């Protein structure tokens, strides 16, 4: 019913079955439309885990579709792959599965102290000896 209400508000004409499925999939779960999710996944900066995603499903679909693949292929090739992964993940969300948010990358709490010049020279000499330079 919510999808039908959104269709009435967003469309001038009767929506196609495909459009109705998209509107129903968005539901009250906050899932963006597939094309908007694709754009978000492609435009998100690295590291991807630190980006503030509109919904965790977008991150998981991008990860499943492979970030490198999305970044290095034209939309005509990459979008269908992403859309299929996103559709599967949306179906899981609509069945009640809670997707974990991406784990944020953090710097270590105690990075240690820098080596002295003598210690650096010793390590460099050992590395040169190891590499036969």
pTM of the model: 0.63
Dihedral Cα 40, 41, 44, 49, nearest 10 deg: 130
For residue 132, the SS3 value is: coil
106-124: pLDDT as tens digits: 777 777 888 899 999 999 9
61-99: pLDDT as tens digits: 999 999 999 999 999 999 999 999 999 999 898 888 888
CA dist 4 and 14 (Å) reads 10
Residue 109 main-chain phi, psi, to 5 deg: -70, -40
DSSP state of 121: H
């Amino acid at each position: 019913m919510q999808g039908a209400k959104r269709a009435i508000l967003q469309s001038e004409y009767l929506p196609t079955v495909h459009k109705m499925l998209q509107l129903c999939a968005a539901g009250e779960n906050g899932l963006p439309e597939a094309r908007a999710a694709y754009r978000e996944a492609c435009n998100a900066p690295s590291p991807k885990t630190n980006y503030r995603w509109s919904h965790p499903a977008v991150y998981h679909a991008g990860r499943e579709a492979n970030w490198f693949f999305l970044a290095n292929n034209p939309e005509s090739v990459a979008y269908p792959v992403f859309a299929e992964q996103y559709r599967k993940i949306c179906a899981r969300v609509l069945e009640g599965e809670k997707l974990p948010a991406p784990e944020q990358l953090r710097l270590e709490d105690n990075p240690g102290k820098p080596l002295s010049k003598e210690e650096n020279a010793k390590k460099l000499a050992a590395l040169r000896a190891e590499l036969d330079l």
